[in-house]
Amino acid sequence: MAVARKGVEEKIKKVRLLIFDVDGVLTDGGIIYNDAGQELKVFDVKDGHGIKLLMRAGIDAAIITARESMVVSHRAANLGIELVYQGMKDKADALELILKKKVLDPREIGYIGDDVIDLPVMKRVGFSAAVADAVEEVKERADYVTTRPGGKGAAREVIELILKTQGKWDAVVGKYLA
């Protein structure tokens, strides 16, 4: 069952940029290395399509991750995400870079995280979400906790919540229903 804090609807209505953590949010947190030492990650296709729907609705997407991986660069390029910050041990530094690049108030930004490294950003943005399998400290501080775990539709759940709350869902999925 999803958990939403009081007043979350008003926060969601202001979101113009949604930032995603990678490991544990866009993936299930597992990291696979092949014999050549190449890193592999599994991404949920519905999460990816959700990100495309989000951007079609006029809401920008960004990635902030503490790790560095060419896999993330490839996935971001595939989805058309231009704001990608990797190797960010202090994710609040990446948020500052985003705020310098985009003309946004922090209250117009949403963030989805799963671990304590995400808390500094979650505290600064207007809307924060935690995946169902996030650590307790993150779930306790999030505005919304998903029913789905990271890498298994949690990002899509938050995207649909935002688009439906902002009244944009029907417009972005309408062409598929016609």
93: in domain: yes
**Domain CATH for 33:** 3.40.50.1000
Q: What is the pLDDT along the chain (178 residues), one digit of tens a residue?
A: 777 778 899 999 999 999 999 999 999 999 999 999 999 999 999 999 999 999 999 999 999 999 999 999 999 999 999 999 999 999 999 999 999 999 999 999 999 999 999 999 999 999 999 999 999 999 999 999 999 999 999 999 999 999 999 999 999 999 888 7
- Based on the structure, what is the number of domains in the chain? 1
101: in domain: yes
3-state secondary structure (DSSP) of residue 138: helix
114: in domain: yes
pTM over 0.85: yes
Q: In the beta sheet, which residues pair with residue 63?
A: 20, 84
Instruction: Give every CB contact of residue 157 below 8 A, 6+ residues apart in sequence.
Output: 2, 146, 147, 148
172: in domain: no
174: in domain: no
Provide the residue range defining the domain that includes 16. Answer: 3-167
33: in domain: yes
CA distance 23 to 172: 27
21: in domain: yes
177: in domain: no
How far, CA to CA in Å, does 167 sit from each of 57, 66, 152, 161, 162?
10, 33, 25, 10, 8
